[in-house]
Amino acid sequence: MNELSLIRNAVKGNKKCLEELLVLHSDQLYRTAFLYVRNREDALDVVQDASYKAFTSIRQLKNEKYFLTWLTRILIHCSYEVINRKKKEIPIDSMNERNVDRTEQGVESLDLIDAINQLNEKHKDAIILFYFQDLPITQVAKIMNIPENTVKTYLSRGKERLKRTLGGRNHNGEKLISKSI
């Protein structure tokens, strides 16, 4: 069954079809969640929360062709809920968690993730959706509910802030973000 048929059946209430769709997009959802919350356990929690919310509100999807946009928007909201909840918690041993992340990803990618997480929410969302999810500007604009030119502005300003934060180049002297808008 193709993806559009799965979406149509899921909207009609077929939970198996929605489950298939979630499995189909699980890697992309996990990677996006990880970029926001920066650790494996929280990223898995975010994906689980987003999946639950998708199951409970699938009938609210107005246009089937924007299923992934709708799901990504739910995922981003769930990510910010976890981030805000974490801000209120007092970490017991944050050094061990940071060391686990460093061994999982490598120092360079952790520096980039740290730099991305220092951006304001608008720039961070645009950078993650465009560069890490590889979505076109039109779809990023729909997810963020803003005009396409505003997305381009956020990407440009976000890249400039990342360049300043990271010194403009990685440890090999290569440009860090080279995908053109």
- Tens digits of pLDDT across the chain (181 residues): 799 999 999 999 999 999 999 999 999 999 999 999 989 999 999 999 999 999 999 999 999 999 999 999 999 999 999 999 888 776 555 444 444 444 444 445 667 888 888 899 999 999 999 998 889 999 999 999 999 999 999 999 999 999 988 885 544 555 545 554 4
Across-strand partners of 169?
A: 175
Question: What pLDDT is stored for residue 158 in this prediction?
Answer: 94
Question: What pLDDT is stored for residue 181 in this prediction?
Answer: 40
Radius of gyration for the chain, computed over Cα atoms and rounded to the nearest angstrom: 17
Question: What pLDDT is stored for residue 49 in this prediction?
Answer: 97
Question: What pLDDT is stored for residue 103 in this prediction?
Answer: 45
Question: What pLDDT is stored for residue 56 in this prediction?
Answer: 96
Across-strand partners of 175?
A: 169
Question: What pLDDT is stored for residue 59 in this prediction?
Answer: 92
Helices assigned H by DSSP within the chain = 3-11, 15-24, 26-37, 40-57, 67-88, 94-105, 107-118, 121-127, 137-144, 148-166
pTM: 0.72
CATH fold group of domain 1-89: Rna Polymerase Sigma Factor; Chain: A (1.10.1740)
Question: What pLDDT is stored for residue 96 in this prediction?
Answer: 46
C-alpha distances in Å from residue 34, one per residue of 8, 45, 113, 130, 136: 29, 10, 9, 15, 21
Nearest to 136 by CA among 69, 52, 88: 69
Q: Are 32 and 124 spatial neighbours (Cβ–Cβ below 8 Å)?
A: no
CA–CA separation, 23 vs 29, rounded Å? 10
Domain ranges of the chain: 1-89, 106-181
* Domain 106-181 listed as CATH 3.40.50.10190: no
Question: What pLDDT is stored for residue 147 in this prediction?
Answer: 96
